[in-house]
């Protein structure tokens, strides 16, 4: 039953290699994808940790990451969690422009759910006086978008992606932008969503020793489609 194969969770495909496509997925291959790196600003910038706040900070960041991950819809899939960040990708090989536009639409949902979740956590943890619980609404989300070819290989149930494009999307988290909540897209990605007329934002250039200069466009919240300026940060006094 080929139709039901599609619904089989990825974790089972390694074991049930009856379908020839399963073997293809195990063999390293190239894919054209949109890469999405969503990063929660770190608590370490503004709170002092003790045993209690360290534990609560970890719980809070986990809850927030989970809410963002739950929001992602196929073909946007989670690749891995990296500390306070999550890496997703979407296979856009069939129609790169349409695929990238879907990613843009999903990203506004990330900010919505992040905002809702921080407010909910703050309310639930009002009674805890620790730094982590008292400063939940100061946490912010930034998202880096890029597109290009990557190499994919599967080892056991893990999917490993690599290539210069994967390096670049991570490198872009370290940048010259002073704001803490924004969407940054590379010029490569921006060209794919040209049809969406994203006229706001600021064109910048980030320079890296090994990768050279990278042209990017940065959207603060309110400038990016479907987001509003300053969700929760304006509520905290």
Residue ranges that bind Zn ion, judged by CB under 5 A = 56, 128, 130, 133
The CB-of-236 to Zn ion minimum distance in angstroms stands at 16
- Provide the token pair at 203: 């064109």
> Do the beta carbons of residue 147 and residue 188 sit within 8 Å?
yes
Q: Residue 66 or residue 73: which is nearer to Zn ion going by CB?
A: 66
The CB-of-125 to Zn ion minimum distance in angstroms stands at 6
The CB-of-108 to Zn ion minimum distance in angstroms stands at 30
- Provide the token pair at 54: 């360290």
Q: For residue 99, give the nearest of 71, 73, 78 by alpha carbon.
A: 73
Q: Are strands 141-155 and 182-186 parallel, antiparallel or unpaired?
A: parallel
Q: Residue 10 or residue 128: which is nearer to Zn ion going by CB?
A: 128
**CA–CA gap between residue 99 and residue 106 (Å, rounded):** 11
Residue with tokens 């209690």: 52
Element (H, E) at 203: strand 202-208
Q: Residue 129 or residue 203: which is nearer to Zn ion going by CB?
A: 129
Q: For residue 38, give the nearest of 81, 70, 97 by alpha carbon.
A: 81
The CB-of-53 to Zn ion minimum distance in angstroms stands at 6
Q: Residue 125 or residue 180: which is nearer to Zn ion going by CB?
A: 125
The CB-of-34 to Zn ion minimum distance in angstroms stands at 36
Q: Residue 43 or residue 231: which is nearer to Zn ion going by CB?
A: 43
**CA–CA gap between residue 56 and residue 131 (Å, rounded):** 9
């Amino acid at each position: 039953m080929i139709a039901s194969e599609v619904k089989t969770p990825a974790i089972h495909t390694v074991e049930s290699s009856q379908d020839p496509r399963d073997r293809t997925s195990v063999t390293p291959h190239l894919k054209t994808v949109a890469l999405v790196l969503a990063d929660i600003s770190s608590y370490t910038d503004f709170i002092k940790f003790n045993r209690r706040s360290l534990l609560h900070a970890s719980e809070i960041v986990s809850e927030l990451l989970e809410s963002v991950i739950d929001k992602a819809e196929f073909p946007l899939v989670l690749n891995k969690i990296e500390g306070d960040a999550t890496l997703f990708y979407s296979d856009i090989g069939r129609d790169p422009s349409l695929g990238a536009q879907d990613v843009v639409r999903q990203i506004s949902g990330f900010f919505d759910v992040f905002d809702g979740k921080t407010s909910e956590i703050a309310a639930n943890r009002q009674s805890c006086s620790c730094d982590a619980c008292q400063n939940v609404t100061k946490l912010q989300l930034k998202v880096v978008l890029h597109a290009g070819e990557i190499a994919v290989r599967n080892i056991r149930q893990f999917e490993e992606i690599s290539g210069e494009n994967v390096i670049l999307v991570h490198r872009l988290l370290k940048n010259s932008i002073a704001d803490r909540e924004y969407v940054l897209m590379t010029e490569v990605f921006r060209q794919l969503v040209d049809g969406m007329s994203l006229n706001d934002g600021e064109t910048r250039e980030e320079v890296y020793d090994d990768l050279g200069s990278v042209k990017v466009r940065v959207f603060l919240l309110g400038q990016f489609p479907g987001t509003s300026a300053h969700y929760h940060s304006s509520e905290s006094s």
